[in-house]
Structure 1
Amino acid sequence: MTAVLDRPVRQHGLNRPLLVLAAVMAVTAVVTLVLAVVDPVQITGTDGWLKPLKFSISIGIYAVTIAWLLTLLPARRQRLGRGLAWVVVAGMVVEMVAIVGAVALGTTSHFNVSTPLHSAVWASMGTAIAAVWLVTLVLAVLLWRASDDAARRLAIRAGLLVGLAGMAVAFLMTSPTPDQLDSFSGIAGAHAVGVPDGGAGIPLLGWSTVGGDLRVPHFVGMHALQVLPLLAFGLEALRARVPALQNAGTRFRIVAVASVGYAVLVVLLTLQALAGIPVTSTFG
């Protein structure tokens, strides 16, 4: 009986609150894209509406990913999974309200401690993101044996672990820079390393082209949640065309190499950013 209860089962559908969150983020992305064109708000030298645009896309993808992962939980963990989903929804809503509200006011949301209100908003964002990180950690533990297929199981494990590492990079951004410590102006923390935020950057993404930028490993690491499981599914889909992939061991080894390579890439990008080297120098 225990074995039956522990067997991963599918829900009747993906988690509804998370799907609603993803749908709201899709609408938010469209609205902020329009606003970025018709009503650009210059904040730290860039169009402020691009920030909620990027976050809405990222949160939407994350919400769908977590909704799928929850379907892999064993039957006796489904109720817990629904609770975790609500934590994600609440945390993401808090973050998006803060980001959109700040842009509407023509100011920054992240690292802004210039007034008691801004400090409270920034603290609430930090709390929300910490809660989402913990939810992802709990899922990593609960889904450690999420699939009978070794390659798929490894892809889920590695995707969650590397994703957690990528999310954790954000905490490195919250420390005041030396310039901020020397001359405090209401901002404590930065995306860029070695240069002020808001300088020359890659179009849309905004990653600095003149200094290090911790958003690069943060972005790459987070999306291991999608990249590695999609790799496993892709290998499975190619089995009919590539005979070698019919062997489960071959698929497992490919996913293992990709997982190690992806983790090493995130580490290297983090070290590069901390050294103040722009990501564009890698391709220059």
Structure 2
Amino acid sequence: MSLLPATPLTRLHRPLVWFAVSMGALALVSAVGMAVDDRILVGVPIWTKPFKFSVSFVAYALSLAWMLSLLPRRRVGWWAGTVVAVASAGEMVLITLQVIRGTQSHFNQATPFDAAVFQVMGGTVVVLWLGALAIAVLLLRARILDRAMAWAVRLSSLIALAGAAVGFLMVRPTPEQLAVDNSPIVGAHSVGVPDGGPSMPLTGWADTGGDLRVAHFFGMHALQLLPLLLLVLAALAPRFARLADERVRLRFTLTASAAYAATFVLLTWQALRGQALFAPDGATLAGAGAIVLLGGAATALSLRGPSPSPSPPSPSAPSAPARPEEVAS
């Protein structure tokens, strides 16, 4: 028997589900574009950005659609989810438009049209973030499922909000851009190195300097990974009796969420100091080591079972009546 109730498909937020379906279709189109279109933009195939965004949005939208189905009162949540779906769709239309035009969508100030496109994209991101914030508030206030899953949903939505907010750090002009008048590009994903330099396969993240997209990606996908952890624990509960205890699963949830949030902060700090993901310095390694040690200790403590309650004293057997000689003595 499952510890978590199943969610009927009819309760899923339909606008977000349809948005996820459209992003799946765009991912296929983008994959074909990457195969047949030989244009390169900022050091990667030009269809890479819509491909990565569409795949990410499939996971993000379906996660939100499921979380909204957990709310007992769904009207406000439905509108918030619809706002997120519409704003996200608007952003993807503009990203795809700029790919078709053969130019950069993010940070592009080269022409008045490009600048207008990026400004509208900035507006859609703000609207998307506010819609996600409204959903996070609703989840914090709602009484949903057992406590472990409730806190997995709540904390993952808050970490995802922080991950999305990292995008606002990217629009700051770099020192090189400030040094020239009317720079055609204002803002960057990378820190300490220019965008479009040597990068990791598939992700396109800078491998010679910091890249804020690492923390952005990691933070936003807490929305899937933390609830998934609880689903795994629930699936393992029939084989490991300790996991059937809601208190144990709750401690696991809080431990995993704290470790995830700490790792997100560490990745953001590492990128802001211009360090590539796989070239950490001593301070970054020390922070990672602390997260591993503290997280491991907290995980071990999470496995503790409830303190056994003291057994009630067994009733004593009735005493045999005293013999006459004992009474006389």
**Separation (CA, whole Å) in 1 of partners of 2:194 and 2:47:** 20
Identify which of 119, 126, 136 aligns with 1:123. Answer: 119
Q: Give the SS at the match of 2:202.
A: coil
The answer to whether the 8 Å contact 2:71/2:144 transfers is no
Q: Whole-Å Cα distance in 2 between the matches of residues 247 and 215 of structure 1?
A: 38
**C-alpha separation between the residues in 2 aligned to 1:15 and 1:155?**
19
Cα distance in 2 for residues equivalent to 1:12 and 1:202: 40
Equivalences for residues 173-212 of structure 1 within 5 A? 173-183=170-180, 184-212=182-210
Name the amino acid aligned to 1:15.
H
Structure-1-length-normalised TM-score: 0.93
- Determine the structure 2 residue equivalent to 1:6: none
TM-score, normalised with respect to structure 2: 0.80
User: Are residue 153 (structure 1) and residue 150 (structure 2) matched?
Assistant: yes
Offset, 1:138: 0.8
1:99 aligns with one of 95, 100, 118: 95
Deviating more after overlay: 254-263 vs 9-18: 9-18
Q: 2:51 aligns with which of 42, 48, 53?
A: 53
Counting only pairs closer than 5 Å after superposition, residues 82-93 of structure 1 correspond to structure 2 as 82-93=78-89
1 CA distance for matches of 2:75 and 2:38?
A: 44
Contact preservation (8 Å) 1:10, 1:72: no
Counterpart position of 1:172: 169
1:26 CA drift (Å): 0.5
Contact 1:140/1:160, CA 8 A, preserved across alignment: yes
Counterpart residue identity of residue 176, structure 2:
D
Q: Which deviates further from its counterpart, 206-215 or 85-94? A: 85-94
Determine whether 1:276 maps to 2:274. Answer: yes
- 1:245-280 residue CA offsets vs partner (Å, 9 max, x unmatched): 011111111111110000000000000000000002
User: Would the aligned equivalents of 1:112 and 1:118 in 2 still touch at CA under 8 Å?
Assistant: yes
Task: Give distance in 1, aligned partners of 2:101 and 2:30.
Answer: 14
CA distance in 2, matches of 1:229, 1:244: 19
CA distance in 2 between counterparts of 1:88 and 1:224 reads: 17
- Pairwise CA distance, 1:69: 1.1
SS at the partner of 1:263? helix
Q: How far does residue 185 in structure 1 lie from its aligned partner after superposition?
A: 2.7
Identity of paired residues, percent? 46
> Which residue of 1 is the match for residue 63 of structure 2?
65
Partner of 1:30 in structure 2? 28
- Could you tell me how far apart the structure 1 residues matched to 2:240 and 2:217 are? 32
Alignment of 1:203-282 (within 5 A): 203-282=201-280
How many Å separate the matches in 1 of 2:250 and 2:15? 33
State the distance in 2 between where 1:33 and 1:42 align. 14
- For residue 67 of structure 1, give the secondary structure of its aligned residue in structure 2: helix
1: CA distance between counterparts of 2:263 and 2:14?
34
Letter in 1 for 2:162: A
* Residues 1:139 and 2:135 aligned together: yes
C-alpha separation between the residues in 1 aligned to 2:20 and 2:170?
26
Q: What is the alpha-carbon distance in structure 1 between the residues aligned to residue 28 and residue 149 of structure 2?
A: 34
Root-mean-square deviation (Å)? 1.7
Give CA deviations for 1:22-73 in whole Å, capped at 9, x if unaligned: 1111110001101101112211221110100000011111111111111111
How many pairs align? 274
Whichever of the two has the greater Rg, that structure is 2
Change (3 A) 1:101 1:163: same
What's the offset of the Cα at 1:103?
1.1
SS in structure 1 of the partner of residue 10 of structure 2: coil
- Asked if 1 retains the 8 angstrom alpha-carbon contact of 2:77 and 2:138, the reply is no
Q: How many angstroms does 1:15 deviate by?
A: 1.7
